[in-house]
Chain A
Amino acid sequence: DTGVSQDPRHKITKRGQNVTFRCDPISEHNRLYWYRQTLGQGPEFLTYFQNEAQLEKSRLLSDRFSAERPKGSFSTLEIQRTEQGDSAMYLCASSTGTGPLYGYTFGSGTRLTVV
Chain B
Amino acid sequence: GENVEQHPSTLSVQEGDSAVIKCTYSDSASNYFPWYKQELGKRPQLIIDIRSNVGEKKDQRIAVTLNKTAKHFSLHITETQPEDSAVYFCAASYDQTGANNLFFGTGTRLTVIP
Contacts and interface: CB of A to CB of B under 8 A. Distances in A.
B12 to A, nearest CB: 17
A49 B77 CA distance: 34
A43 B45 CA distance: 12
A65 interface: no
Contacts of A106: 36, 43-45
A56 B46 contact: no
B94 to A, nearest CB: 9
Interface string B81-106: 00000000101010101111111111
A50 B100 CA distance: 11
B42 interface: yes
B104 A42 contact: yes
A56 B97 CA distance: 9
Nearest to B35: A103
Interface residues of A, number: 26
B11 to A, nearest CB: 15
Given A106-B44, A109-B43, A40 B106 contact: yes
A101 B104 contact: no
A43 B34 CA distance: 13
Given A43-B44, A108-B42, A103 B34 contact: yes
A55 B32 contact: no
A43 B104 contact: yes
Interface string A72-115: 00000000000000000001000101001111111111000000
A45 B103 contact: yes
Interface in B55-114: 89, 91, 93, 95, 97-107
Interface of A: 31, 33, 40-45, 48, 50, 55-56, 58, 91, 95, 97, 100-109
